[in-house]
């Protein structure tokens, strides 16, 4: 276990964290704005990957698959929010259960359409190479993941902090009734945020498919990790999601490398402890 | 209350019917019923939290896992619990379930509503993580195969004998939980569900009430795990994975939260849909998913609320069952 081991593990952890940021940030925003624990968020990730596969099989273009899959999943999320979640009104338990019901339906649909096989989403050759940085061979694809998460994180941050729309979203996170009172259309904000969250998860699915591969059951594997990101970072906080994703990515990688037998425990136990001490997460707002 | 007595009689009659009819069917139905009954104990334990205390737990499978792994590890490593000592394993599994809940409860009980959901999810994942990764103890992803069922005077390898044992445990659990929720303690739990603040103002230690309910639920979860281990013959991380907890929650809501027997009906429907329908048609999971979605959208009180709804439709001012919230 020399320096290289630590560097490589750290790099892997950070790139995994980048992927988790894509899934977790959307989940966090959805929770912050709507107080919905969206258990179909993992399905969005999985469906994003599957739709990308179909696009790649028919057109051969990975670059086209990225936006198409993400937008298709965003549309799905939007429809789910408008048709099913919104009419339920504010009833957390029923909302949670409804999203689980949909997660099961999506699972079956994915199994029927894309069979139960494992598929790799092969990125273009330009991204499949490795680059040498200071004696370490780093896969370019993982660097691409980090770059994507960075770009998306910065864009999201700018939108949230610098635009009128973003201010309205933040107001809704902090106090929805008050936001409605000053004339913010919180229903439209909810729709927008839900679609955005689904978009990010779908995008994550395409990108994650490049190194996790896409298979049935991935939805409920990624879901608890996304929740760990949200909980550690604080629900509804973008910066928190970034830090949470980084911590979970690193904890997952080092945990698996250093203490394989209790690696998931080392991930979820801190999550439970944080929740117990500070239910809104490390960086969440009351 | 006569309606109360009618309900009790109906449940007893239903149990008697199951006891008489099921053993005369084929072994597939016997196995399915046994599974549903064992799992139903977990669903009822969850209903104690969800329906009576207003705590929606997303990690109830952890207690089933505790009981099941205890049973499996003792049986395969130490050949313990395969004779009369099976009864000790029952006690141990129940105690371990309660002990786990006693630890987890310290962390979870303070949280309310959605946060309780999240923290129980996290705690459940802790147990899953250990089951999945701690290869030397749990057998990892492959799980542990139990090669034989206990034998003490009676041979539990006989499926009918085993069915009767599980049915007996189920009936005893139902009775115990029923007595519990009708007791003053149970009444206070319902009070906490409806108006926690008011209960606190009235001088009730609501934290302690919830904590005790949580530990009791853990104990029944452990018991259901012991039975589950011998029913399935294999214990694996799948028993403690998030979707198993979700299943239990959905079964409770499908049948009707706050009714105890509703959860059992939910368990039966899901097990039969999943294991019987799946052998008949390929689109069974659509049926299951749709049943969930439609129940949540249009029947928030679950299947058990149907009679009350019909009575209301007929114009009678039947008692309206309050919908359960997280």
Residue B234: what are its φ and ψ, rounded to 5°?
-145, 140
Verify whether the Cβ–Cβ distance B118 to A37 is below 8 Å.
yes
Spatial separation of the C-alpha atoms in residues A120 and A109, rounded to whole Å: 19
Instruction: Tell how far CA B86 is from the center of its chain.
Output: 21
Distance from CA of B246 to the nearest CA of A (A): 8
Distance from CA of B308 to the nearest CA of A (A): 20
Provide the whole-model pTM.
0.86
Using alpha carbons, select from B227, B76, B88, B223 the residue that is nearest to residue B143.
Answer: B76
Instruction: Tell how far CA A128 is from the center of its chain.
Output: 23
Residue A173 has a pLDDT of 78
Chain B residues whose beta carbon lies within 8 Å of the beta carbon of residue A228? 122, 125
Altogether, the residues listed in chain A come to a count of 286
Verify whether the Cβ–Cβ distance A264 to B129 is below 8 Å.
yes
> Shortest CB distance from B300 goes to which of A84, A94, A100?
A94
Interface probe, candidates B61, B105, B114, B207, chain A, greatest A C-beta count within 10 A: B114
Verify whether the Cβ–Cβ distance B56 to A261 is below 8 Å.
no
Verify whether the Cβ–Cβ distance A98 to B56 is below 8 Å.
no
> Shortest CB distance from B296 goes to which of A97, A111, A275?
A97
Verify whether the Cβ–Cβ distance A276 to B119 is below 8 Å.
yes
| Contacts of A202 by beta carbon, 8 Å cutoff, 6+ apart | A44, A45, A47, A48, A51, A69, A70, A71, A72, A73, A74
Distance from CA of A83 to the nearest CA of B (A): 11
> Shortest CB distance from A92 goes to which of B290, B300, B326?
B326
Helix (H) or strand (E) holding B179: helix B159-182
B237 and B141 in contact (C-beta within 8 Å)? yes
Beta-bridge partner residues of B144: B235
Report, as an integer, the average pLDDT of A91-117. 86
B71 and A108 in contact (C-beta within 8 Å)? no
List C-alpha distances in Å: A39 to A21, A31, A52, B83, B275: 17, 11, 22, 43, 24
Residue A137: what are its φ and ψ, rounded to 5°?
-90, 115
Verify whether the Cβ–Cβ distance A104 to B325 is below 8 Å.
no
The domain locations on chain B are: 27-241
Interface probe, candidates A275, A277, A282, A284, chain B, greatest B C-beta count within 10 A: A275
Lowest mean pLDDT among A22-31, A125-134, A218-227, B30-39: A125-134
Using alpha carbons, select from B49, B30, B10 the residue that is nearest to residue B209.
Answer: B49
Which residues numbered 293-312 in B keep a CB inside 8 Å of some CB on A?
293, 296-297, 300
Verify whether the Cβ–Cβ distance A88 to B108 is below 8 Å.
no
**Any long-range contacts for B284-287 (C-beta under 8 Å, 24+ apart)?**
B285/A104, B285/A105, B285/A107, B285/A108, B285/A111, B286/A105, B286/A108, B286/A109
Residue A69 has a pLDDT of 93
Helix (H) or strand (E) holding A144: helix A140-162
| Contacts of B273 by beta carbon, 8 Å cutoff, 6+ apart | B284, B287, B288, B291
Helix (H) or strand (E) holding A132: strand A130-133
Residue B66 has a pLDDT of 94
Which residues numbered 239-298 in B keep a CB inside 8 Å of some CB on A?
241-243, 246, 249-250, 253, 282-283, 285-286, 288-290, 292-293, 296-297
Residue A221 has a pLDDT of 87
Spatial separation of the C-alpha atoms in residues B299 and B305, rounded to whole Å: 8
Residue A37 has a pLDDT of 84
Provide the b/e sequence for B16-39 (b: ≥16 CB within 10 Å): eebeeebbeeeeebbbbbbbbbbb
Residue A284 has a pLDDT of 64
Interface probe, candidates B47, B113, B125, B134, chain A, greatest A C-beta count within 10 A: B125
Q: For B304, which DSSP code?
A: G
Q: Which of A17-31, A123-137, B184-198, B279-293 has the highest mean pLDDT?
A: A17-31
Q: Is the pLDDT of residue A204 over 70?
A: yes
**Which residues of A have a CB under 8 Å from any CB of B?**
31, 35, 37, 39, 84, 88, 91-94, 96-98, 100-102, 104-105, 107-109, 111-112, 220, 223-224, 227-228, 231, 260-265, 267-269, 271-273, 275-276, 279
Spatial separation of the C-alpha atoms in residues A16 and A251, rounded to whole Å: 10
The domain locations on chain A are: 26-216
CA angle A45, A47, A48 (to 5 degrees): 65
The DSSP secondary structure of A197-252, one letter per residue, reads HHHHHHHHHHHHHHHH-B-TTHHHHHHHHHHHHHHHH-TT-HHHHHHHHHHHHHHH
The angle, 0 to 180 degrees and rounded to 10, between the axes of the packed helices B159-182 and B261-272 is 150
Verify whether the Cβ–Cβ distance B289 to A279 is below 8 Å.
no
Tokens of B284: 């069974």
SS3 for B160? helix
The DSSP secondary structure of B86-109, one letter per residue, reads HHHHHHHHHHHHHHHHHHHHHHHT
Verify whether the Cβ–Cβ distance B297 to A88 is below 8 Å.
yes
B265 and B255 in contact (C-beta within 8 Å)? yes
Residue B326 has a pLDDT of 40
B45 and B60 in contact (C-beta within 8 Å)? yes
Instruction: Kindly report, residue by residue over A250-269, the tens digit of the pLDDT.
Output: 988 888 888 877 778 888 88
Verify whether the Cβ–Cβ distance A268 to B135 is below 8 Å.
no
Please give chain B's pLDDT, 326 residues, in tens: 557 888 888 888 888 888 888 888 888 888 899 999 999 999 999 999 998 888 889 899 999 999 999 999 998 888 887 888 889 999 999 999 999 999 999 988 888 777 888 889 889 988 998 888 888 888 888 888 888 888 887 878 788 889 999 999 999 999 999 999 999 988 888 888 888 888 888 888 888 989 999 999 999 999 999 999 999 888 999 899 888 998 899 899 888 888 888 888 999 988 888 888 878 877 777 888 888 888 888 888 888 888 888 888 876 554 444 444 44
Which ipTM was obtained for this model?
0.82
A104 and B288 in contact (C-beta within 8 Å)? yes
Helix (H) or strand (E) holding B144: strand B144-145
Report, as an integer, the average pLDDT of A106-134. 84
CA dihedral B58, B63, B65, B66 (to 10 degrees): 150
Interface probe, candidates A268, A270, A274, chain B, greatest B C-beta count within 10 A: A268
> Shortest CB distance from A104 goes to which of B125, B241, B285?
B285
Instruction: Kindly report, residue by residue over A173-198, the tens digit of the pLDDT.
Output: 788 888 888 888 888 888 888 999 99
């Amino acid at each position: 276990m020399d320096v290289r081991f630590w560097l490589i593990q750290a790099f892997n952890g950070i790139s995994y964290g980048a992927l988790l940021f894509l899934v977790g940030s959307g989940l966090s925003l959805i929770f912050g704005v709507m107080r919905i624990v969206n258990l179909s968020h993992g399905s969005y990730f999985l469906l994003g990957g599957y739709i990308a596969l179909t696009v790649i099989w028919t057109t051969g273009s990975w670059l086209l698959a990225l936006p198409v899959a993400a937008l298709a999943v965003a549309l799905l999320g939007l429809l789910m929010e408008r048709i099913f979640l919104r009419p339920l009104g504010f009833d957390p338990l029923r909302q949670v259960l409804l999203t689980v019901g949909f997660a099961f339906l999506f699972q079956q649909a994915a199994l029927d359409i894309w069979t139960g096989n494992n598929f790799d989403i092969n990125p273009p050759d330009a991204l499949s190479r490795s680059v040498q940085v200071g004696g370490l061979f780093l896969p370019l694809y993982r660097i691409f993941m980090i770059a994507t998460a960075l770009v998306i994180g910065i864009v999201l941050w700018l939108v949230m902090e610098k635009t009128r729309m973003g201010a309205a979203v933040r107001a809704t996170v902090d106090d929805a009734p008050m936001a409605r009172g000053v004339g913010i259309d919180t229903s439209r904000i909810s729709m927008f945020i839900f679609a955005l969250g689904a978009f990010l998860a779908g995008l994550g699915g395409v990108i994650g498919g490049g190194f996790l591969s896409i298979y049935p059951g991935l939805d409920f594997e990624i879901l608890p990790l996304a929740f760990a990101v949200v909980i550690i970072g604080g629900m509804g906080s973008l910066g928190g999601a970034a830090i949470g994703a980084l911590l979970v990515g690193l904890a997952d990688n080092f945990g698996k490398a250093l203490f394989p037998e209790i690696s998931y425990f080392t991930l979820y136990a801190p999550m439970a402890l944080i929740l117990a001490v500070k239910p809104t997460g490390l960086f969440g707002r009351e | 209350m006569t309606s109360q007595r009618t309900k009790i009689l109906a449940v007893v009659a239903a149990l008697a019917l199951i006891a008489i009819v099921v053993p005369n069917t084929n072994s597939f139905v016997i196995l399915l019923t046994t599974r549903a009954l064992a799992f139903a104990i977990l669903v009822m334990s969850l209903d104690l939290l969800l329906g009576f205390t207003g705590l929606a737990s997303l990690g109830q499978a952890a207690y089933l896992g505790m009981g099941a792994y205890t049973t499996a590890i003792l049986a395969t490593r130490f050949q313990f619990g395969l004779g009369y000592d099976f009864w000790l394993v029952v006690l141990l599994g129940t105690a371990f379930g309660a002990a786990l809940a006693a630890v987890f409860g310290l962390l979870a009980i303070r949280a309310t509503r959605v946060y309780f959901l999240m923290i129980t999810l996290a705690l459940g994942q802790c147990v899953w993580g250990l089951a999945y990764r701690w290869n030397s103890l749990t057998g990892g992803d492959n799980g542990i195969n139990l090669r034989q069922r206990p034998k003490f005077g009676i041979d539990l390898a006989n499926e009918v004998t085993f069915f009767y044992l599980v049915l007996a445990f189920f009936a005893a659990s139902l009775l115990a939980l029923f007595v519990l929720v009708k007791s003053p303690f149970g009444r206070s739990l319902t009070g906490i569900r409806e108006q926690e603040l008011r209960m606190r103002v009235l001088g009730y230690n609501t934290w302690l009430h919830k904590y005790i309910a949580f530990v009791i639920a853990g104990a029944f979860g452990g018991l259901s795990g012991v039975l589950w281990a011998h029913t399935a013959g294999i214990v694996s991380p799948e028993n403690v994975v998030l979707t198993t907890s979700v299943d239990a929650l959905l079964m409770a809501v499908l049948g009707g939260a706050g009714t105890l027997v509703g959860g059992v009906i939910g368990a039966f429907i899901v097990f039969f849909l999943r294991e019987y329908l799946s052998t008949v048609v390929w689109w069974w999971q659509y049926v299951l998913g749709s049943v969930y979605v439609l129940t949540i959208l249009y029947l928030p009180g679950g299947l058990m609320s149907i009679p009350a709804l019909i009575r209301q439709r007929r114009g009678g001012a039947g008692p309206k069952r309050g919908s359960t919230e997280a």
